[in-house]
Structure 1
Amino acid sequence: MQPAAEAKLPAVPEPGIDLELQAHLELKSRLHAELLDRLNLSMIDKVEASELKRQISALVTSILETEGVQMRAAAFTSLVEELIFEVMGLGPLEPLLEDPTINDILVNSHDQVYVERFGMLEKSTVRFRDERHLLRIIDKIVSKVGRRIDESQPWVDARLEDGSRVNAIIRPCTVDGPALSIRKFSRSPLTLDRLIEQGALDHRAADILTAMVEARLNVLISGGTGSGKTTMLNAMSSFIDARQRIVTIEDAAELQLQQDHVVRLETRPANSEGQGAILQRDLVRNALRMRPDRIIVGEVRGAECFDMLQAMNTGHDGSMTTIHANSARDAVGRVEQMVTMVGADLPIKTIRSQIAAAIHIVIQLSRLSDGHRRVISISEITGMEDETITMQDIFVFKRQGISTSGQVLGKFVATGIRPKCYDLMRSAGIKLDPQMFQREEVLS
């Protein structure tokens, strides 16, 4: 992609677009092309931001004087900042990335950008000049992590420097031009205490989740897209003993573990010849040779689930992973389906007994209609009855209705069942008040 080529094409006003905005975008595009010609791009990373801003301001002033363009001071300052974003950062996306209230940035096309703020979607005023502008930003993102996107590979998973998750997809797989999705992560990782403050769970649930991690129980975190699975995994992992060796395996490295003794592994897509792909299953098998105390897989999607179960069943207690599913029972069913992807002709009873022996706890998360993310249930896998995996809920979120402002009303309650793993936690020296499991009734 050649960024400077944008300015050589004739400007054609787009229907339905504010002419003043269109003129501003055209001006910024011309100035950007001029800056790319005049600046020493190899030295940009070595120049302090204040000096770079001074140089860009001087160049922009010179160019505007040559073109006879007059501009108010505030508009000029804003234009210089936008150009710095274009040269050093990700252009129009930079203000959205800097906004701490935004969780997701969703670019449907070059002129339609949405953001998720406090769990609710809203349309942003940000837009790109055209498809090539958006493609240039996408290319800048994926090339930094050694990945590519083109007609032969029209979609890609990547990450930003801060760990934010990125997915991009372009023509011919998209009808209306390139689409980009960015899942931002808090620069200060969310803790269980902060999740309690946000209403995702209560103190009792946090206490038992902490105890489960410290007692080295194997945990499966389940939920839909955007329900907070990775956030919960990060929060729970903070209670892993710092003396233990942790190996993380992800498609795009985004976990924010706080311990020092962590080895982070990441998959790799195939090259342009279709060779060299490294799958999660390859990394899980390799991790078994790295003397890990715990293995954390960002998300299981396929045959690597079988190797994950083997790790959990062969001395790597306290391992954790996430999965897409609508309920705890569905999560177990999905694990079963993934194991069958291995291709081995295993009896269904054997597969289910492996699951029942490997996974102790399933945590179900959901993003509710009011945008809040909550723990819906904490369930324990108790074993097998004939060919059926048996489970029991320990805590559940009971909905009680919706307020006049649209907020989902409900309460996190104990089911009255004391988990079988309670004895395991006690034997690990963890003290929990058995009264926390006392059954609660919730009036509808």
Structure 2
Amino acid sequence: MKFNILNSTYISNNENIATYHNEIFTLIREKISSFLNQGKTLQFDEIFKQATFALGIEEYCASESKIYAEWFENLTSFLKLTKYLNDVSIHEIIIHDYNLIQVISSQNSITVKEEFIALNDYDLALEILAFSNKETWNYQQPFCSFWLDIYSNSFRATLIHHSTASNKKSKLFLRRINKMIFALDDFDIPLDIKTFLTGLIENKNNFVISGSTCSGKTSLLSSLLTKINKDEHLVILEDTNEIQTTHPTTSYFLANEKIEGKTLKDYCAYTMRMRPDRILLGEMRSNEIVPFILSMNTGHRGLISTIHANSAKDCISRMCLLFSLYSNISKLNFATITSLICQNVEYIVHMENKKIKEIIKIFGADNLNPIYDYIFNLE
């Protein structure tokens, strides 16, 4: 039997047109899920053809499939979120539900009640996002994080599966990655501190930049990289491509913690065989801290990393705690770890709200007590 999809005269003899449309949408959703399970690329024309064929529809024109094509585009590309994705003043976007979005800028955080997708399409859209970025995301693997390029913008995307939540709501977190490398003069920093920071690079000091999420750690780090001698071999280790540099002699490792041999810890070990003049670890948060700190202890200079911490002093405590948790050396007591950290990390630069709040110089440790002095304190 041949007939047009939107021929309401014909359809009215069988059932309500709205119900008919719902049947098409239901079949398309089923076909999409089937394609995802089979690992097949999602192509609208093929999916629509299979869905309509299942209803006995063998003929239609492009204009008749337009409403479904537009729905498919929004489902697979978050079309209705473009105004937030393209707004560079927004640093983070949190998708709490199909109709609840939180947008965060340096000035404020605003919650927007706006339906950007249908309720019964919400989880499917997130599944497609994970699949399109070659990520496994389901009941067995409810968390995933990956680099996302969308509408010429780059984000660090994190998905939380609804199976982990009491309210059964999946969530998407998007943190904007700024590809621009700011000059050091672009930061609100006193001139003498800019000179001091440049000196840390020139003298190849080992230092850590600490701060909360979106405090400006990576932006400052990328800016400082412009001060590195072009003849030095720079090795960068990250699990998400956030550090920006135009340094000509750079070896870049992008880790995948799910693949044996390609973790940050593995790359820290490999780096020692590459004659690095400097090693940059994007962020210390688990077992990668052990080979990184130990590489300092073997005489390597110019090592730099970032870490989440509430203050410069707290940064020392956090590094010691991480090393203790992941060193797997039972006889290594906390006092020894504190001494190891404080003998090898020379400076900590702490940031808040895109500004440097504290800089401390570490001299060593007395048992469990770090010995340090303030180079700069904004307060």
Q: TM-score, normalised on structure 2?
A: 0.76
Tell me whether 229-238 or 176-185 shows the greater mean CA deviation: 229-238
Q: Secondary structure at the match of 1:160?
A: strand
Given that 1:110 and 1:178 are in contact with CA atoms closer than 8 Å, whether structure 2 keeps it comes out as no
- Residue 183 of structure 1 deviates from its aligned partner by 0.8
- Residue 314 of structure 1 deviates from its aligned partner by 2.2
Letter in 1 for 2:138: D
| Superposed counterparts of 1:12-411, under 5 Å | 36-37=44-45, 59=62, 86=74, 89-124=77-112, 126-131=114-119, 133-161=121-149, 163-174=154-165, 175-196=167-188, 201-270=189-258, 276=260, 278-341=262-325, 342-344=327-329, 345-367=331-353, 373-385=354-366, 387-398=368-379
Q: In angstroms, what is the RMSD of aligned CA positions?
A: 3.1
Residue equivalent to 1:16: none
* Residues 1:328 and 1:276: Cα distance change in structure 2 (over 3 Å): same
CA distance in 2, matches of 1:159, 1:363: 27
Residue equivalent to 1:432: none
Letter in 2 for 1:319: L
Q: Secondary structure at the match of 1:100?
A: coil
Residue equivalent to 1:25: none
Tell me whether 141-150 or 154-163 shows the greater mean CA deviation: 141-150
* Residues 1:104 and 1:380: Cα distance change in structure 2 (over 3 Å): same
- Residue 169 of structure 1 deviates from its aligned partner by 0.4
* Residues 1:133 and 1:295: Cα distance change in structure 2 (over 3 Å): farther
CA distance in 2, matches of 1:139, 1:189: 33
Q: Secondary structure at the match of 1:227?
A: coil
* Residues 1:230 and 1:327: Cα distance change in structure 2 (over 3 Å): same
Q: Secondary structure at the match of 1:177?
A: coil
- Residue 121 of structure 1 deviates from its aligned partner by 0.7
Given that 2:100 and 2:115 are in contact with CA atoms closer than 8 Å, whether structure 1 keeps it comes out as yes
How many residue pairs match? The answer is: 327
- Residue 150 of structure 1 deviates from its aligned partner by 0.9
Given that 1:109 and 1:176 are in contact with CA atoms closer than 8 Å, whether structure 2 keeps it comes out as no
CA distance in 2, matches of 1:265, 1:120: 35
**Residue 8, structure 1, aligned to residue 32, structure 2:** no
Q: Secondary structure at the match of 1:379?
A: strand
* Residues 1:299 and 1:5: Cα distance change in structure 2 (over 3 Å): farther
Provide the identity percentage.
23
- Residue 217 of structure 1 deviates from its aligned partner by 0.7
Given that 1:253 and 1:265 are in contact with CA atoms closer than 8 Å, whether structure 2 keeps it comes out as no
Deviations 1:127-160 (A, max 9, x none): 3323553334433443344322111111111111
**Unaligned stretches of 5+ in structure 2?**
1-21, 29-42, 50-60
CA distance in 2, matches of 1:284, 1:145: 26
Given that 1:223 and 1:324 are in contact with CA atoms closer than 8 Å, whether structure 2 keeps it comes out as yes
Q: Secondary structure at the match of 1:225?
A: coil
CA distance in 1, matches of 2:124, 2:225: 37
**Unaligned stretches of 5+ in structure 1?**
11-34, 42-57, 68-78, 368-372, 399-444
Deviations 1:287-328 (A, max 9, x none): 222222211111111222121111122233111111111111
Letter in 2 for 1:293: D
Deviations 1:146-190 (A, max 9, x none): 322111111111111354211110111132421111111224233
- Residue 246 of structure 1 deviates from its aligned partner by 1.7
Q: TM-score, normalised on structure 1?
A: 0.66
